Amino acid sequence: MAIMGAKNGDNGASTSHARKALPISKVRERLVEEISNNMTLILIGETGCGKTTKIPQFIYKAKLNKGAMIAVTQPRRVAAVTIASHVANAFNSSVGGLVGYTVRFEDATSADTKIKFLTDGMLLREAMLDANLSNYSVIILDEAHERTVNTDILFGIVKRAQYNREQQKIKPLKIIVMSATMDVDHFCKYFNNAPVVFVEGRTFPVHIHNAVKPHEDYFFSVLSTIFQLHQSAPVNHDFLVFLTGQEEIESMAHNIRQIQMDPKFKDSPPMMICYLFAALPTFDQVKAFSPTPPGRRKVILSTNIAETSVTISGVKYVIDCGKVKIRTHQPSTGLDMLKVSPISQAQAWQRAGRAGRESEGHCYRAYTEQEFANFKKNTPPEIQRCNLASVVLQLLAIGINAMKFDFMDKPNEQSIKEALLQLKDLGAITNIENPSLTQLGKLMSQFPLDPRYSKILICAQNYECLEEILIIVAMLSSETVFVNAQSKKEEVAEARQKFHSSSGDHITLLKIFRAFTAAETKKKWCSNNFLHFRNLEYATKVRKQLTELCQKNEFTSSSCGQQYDQIKKCLLTGLYMNLAELQRDKKYLTVHSRLTTSIHPTSSLFGSLPPCILFTEILETNKSYLNNISTIDPAWVEEVVPNYARQHILRKLD
Which percentage of the chain shows pLDDT scores above 90?
Answer: 62
**Cα 60 from chain centroid (whole Å):** 29
| Strand boundaries in 183-314, DSSP class E | 196-199, 206-209, 238-242, 271-276, 297-302
The helix/strand/coil state of 365 is strand
* pLDDT for 528: 93
Residue 226, helix vs strand vs coil: helix
Using the 8-state DSSP alphabet, how is residue 429 labeled? B
Buried b (16+ CB within 10 A) or exposed e, 504-543: bbbbbbbebbeebeeeeebeebbeebbbbbbbbbbbbbbb
- pLDDT score for 652: 45
Give Cβ neighbours of residue 43 (< 8 Å, ≥ 6 apart). Answer: 31, 51, 55, 176, 177, 178, 179, 196, 197, 199
pLDDT at 364: 97
Q: Do the Cβ atoms of 355 and 310 come closer than 8 Å?
A: no
The pLDDT assigned to 14 comes to 36
Residue of 132, 200, 192 lying closest to 167 (CA atoms): 132
d(CA 314, CA 334): 45
| Type of residue at 266 | K
Q: What is residue 35's predicted lDDT score, i.e. its pLDDT?
A: 95
DSSP-derived 3-state class of residue 630: strand
pLDDT tens per residue across span 494-525? 888 999 999 999 999 999 999 999 999 999 99
Largest CA-CA distance found in the chain, in angstroms, rounded: 78
Whole-model pTM: value is 0.75
pLDDT value at position 5? 27
Which among 370, 372, 408, 405 is positioned nearest to 391, based on CA atoms? 405
Residue 279's pLDDT is: 65
d(CA 36, CA 55): 12
Sign for the CA dihedral angle at 24, 30, 32, 36 comes to negative
Amino acid at 234: P
Partner residues linked to 614 by β-bridges: 579, 630
Report yes or no: 129 and 61 within 8 Å, Cβ to Cβ.
no
CA distance 535 to 539: 6
Helix residue spans in 329-388 (DSSP H): 345-353, 369-374
What residues in the chain have per-residue pLDDT under 70?
A: 1-21, 202-203, 279-283, 308-310, 329-337, 485-487, 621-622, 649-654
